[in-house]
Amino acid sequence: MNKICKEYISEIKALFPIKRKPEKDYIKKVAADIKDYCEEENVTSKQDLYDNYGKPNDVVNNYFATVDTEYVVKQIKVARFIKTAVALIIVLATIATSALCICAYVSYQLADKEAVVVREDSIIEIN
């Protein structure tokens, strides 16, 4: 498979807002079909692929035209919830880590101030 076909397939993959098992299966089927077409027709430009399959957004739109709208909306909501939860966890972890570092630094400063200094003086008599 040449570089042009790989770029075309990666453009298609990038346009999918969700990538669950059905979407991955569809991408695999389309990629196999494009690979066969590229090998048989010896594709030299993306325009050849655009003429045969359409632009990448057309390929994605064709898939979503055949899929139930409720499924897509549900998957997008789930993805949004997961992203929000991960972002919240990261923010909370950052705050907790910062608080822990501040407490450790304050403890270090207190321990440094209260450090016991041992001083030994020796007196030598000279006759």
Quote the percentage of the chain above a pLDDT of 70. 98
**37: nearest Cα among 12, 2, 66, 64:** 2
Residue 1 has pLDDT above 70, yes or no: no
Q: What are 56-70's pLDDT values in tens digits? A: 999 999 898 888 889
- The confidence band for 112, taking pLDDT boundaries of 50, 70 and 90, is confident
Instruction: Please tell me which of 16-20, 39-43, 82-86 the model is most confident about, judged by mean pLDDT.
Output: 82-86
Question: What predicted TM-score, i.e. pTM, was given to this entire model?
Answer: 0.64
Do 92 and 47 meet the contact criterion of CB atoms below 8 Å apart?
no
Domain boundaries, the chain: 1-67, 69-114
Local structure of 20: helix, strand or coil: coil
Mean pLDDT on 98-114: 93
How many helices (H) and strands (E) in the chain? 5, 0
**Distance (Å, rounded) from C-alpha 74 to C-alpha 81?**
11
Stronger pLDDT, 16 or 103, i.e. the higher one: 103
